[in-house]
Amino acid sequence: MDCVITFRTRRDYRLYRSFIRSASKNLFVSGSSYELIKGIADFLLSRTDLRPKIGIICGSGLGSVATILDVKKEFSYSEIPHFPRSTVPGHAGKLLFGYMGNVAVMCMQGRVHFYEGYDLVKCVMPVRVMKLCGVTHIIMSNAAGGVNEKYNVGDIMIVKDHVNFLGLGGLNPLRGPNDDRWGPRFVALNKAYDQWMRKKAKELASQYQQQGSRTTFHEGVYAVVGGPNFETVAELRMLRKMGIDAVGMSTATEAIAAHHCGMTVFAFSLITNKCVLEYDVEEMPNHEEVIESGLKQESLVKDWVSSLVQAVGNQWLMHTEKGCNGLD
């Protein structure tokens, strides 16, 4: 059905046109435009002298990674304009600026997830804020269920690749008009998880094993699902058949946004529960167990992440001769 709108004056017409333009723009960018994110980065940088090079995102129960920081400035998400707020237990909702050794770091103690009701553009907003604060390397962590039958609770999986079930269904943080200031319209993801960082992380992990640690490290494929429900037996059987090693509800979308804007990405999963692929068993996954598993691996994870940060710092020094103390 055609609809004809008539305007009494040219001014009415102009007002209507600008309303439609801004409405359609907002429909796509959901209040997360480049300018808005630049405003958030400027807000943060005007309140600290520290200029971070490495960004860290702590997943469920992994917030203790932040405690290895020598914190210089702390923001609660609620005091940062337009910043999304974590609503999930185990995600403190704090943004910290500080040092790990001599490396300047920006750390999110907790993230936001799609299932909390945020759209994906909002979920990746903090990653883009990090980019505009100067972060070049990002380390993402998450709690995940072990789909691979060899994986046990407490194991650590370095993410080699992901399967983005949200993205395959059309839910992608890059959906909508592309802003070239972030990156290209079509982005290749076959090298999304940085090879050098994965190699370094594996080298560091092998030292724990030589020292007799019982923690097993793997490298594998992470699948992101929408959540918040844990998966059904049928879904998990499908994931295992597809070659998925661990399943979670975050990270992959953040990794896409980070890679899109040119950051070097490293991600790892702490296996917090063994996925239940049988019907006639008592175990059921739950969020309390997820958080508890994170706490149990606290000290090793902190040590490993901190060594990886130092390794990136040393490499940075070799290549730029500038160091990454964030003061240059």
Ligand X SMILES: O=P(O)(O)O[C@@H]1C[C@H](O)[C@@H](CO)O1
CB of 290 to ligand HPA, least distance (A): 5
Of these, 88, 221, 265, 324, which contacts ligand X (CB under 6 A)? 88
Q: Fill in the per-residue mask, 119 to 148: x = in contact with ligand X (CB under 6 A), - = not in contact.
A: -----------------------xx-----
203/283 with CB nearer ligand HPA: 283
Of these, 107, 127, 249, 265, which contacts ligand X (CB under 6 A)? 249
Q: Which residues bind ligand HPA (CB under 6 A)?
A: 143-145, 230-231, 247-249, 272-273, 275, 285, 290
Render 34-88 in DSSP notation, one character per residue.
HHHHHHHHHHHHTT-S---SEEEEE-TT-GGGGGGSEEEEEEEGGGSTT-----S
Contact region with ligand X (CB under 6 A), list: 9-17, 76-84, 245-253, 302-310: 245-253
With vertex at residue 156, the alpha carbon angle to CA 275 and CA 244, rounded to the nearest 5 degrees, is: 45
Separation of CA 214 from chain center: 27
Q: Which of 143, 192, 197, 223 is catalytic?
A: 143
22 is in an annotated binding site: no
92 is in an annotated binding site: no
201 is in an annotated binding site: no
Indicate which of ligand HPA, ligand X, none lies near residue 247 (CB less than 5 to 8 Å, by partner kind). Answer: ligand HPA
Separation of CA 202 from chain center: 20
DSSP bridge pairs for 223: 163, 247
46 is in an annotated binding site: no
263: left (phi over 0), alpha (psi -120 to 50) or beta: beta
Separation of CA 117 from chain center: 16
Contact region with ligand X (CB under 6 A), list: 18-26, 154-162, 242-250, 260-268: 242-250
Q: Cis link prior to 81 (omega < 30° from 0)?
A: no
Residues 268-287 that bind ligand X (CB under 6 A): 287
Query: Does 64 participate in catalysis according to the annotation?
Result: no
Give me 113's structure tokens.
Answer: 């997830």
Q: Which of 34, 115, 311, 325 is catalytic?
A: 115
How many of the other CB atoms lie within 10 Å of CB of 325?
17
Give me 141's structure tokens.
Answer: 């962590």
- Annotated binding site: which residue ranges? 60, 91, 111-113, 143, 231, 250, 273
Q: Provide the annotated active-site residues.
A: 60, 91, 113, 115-116, 143, 249-250, 273, 287
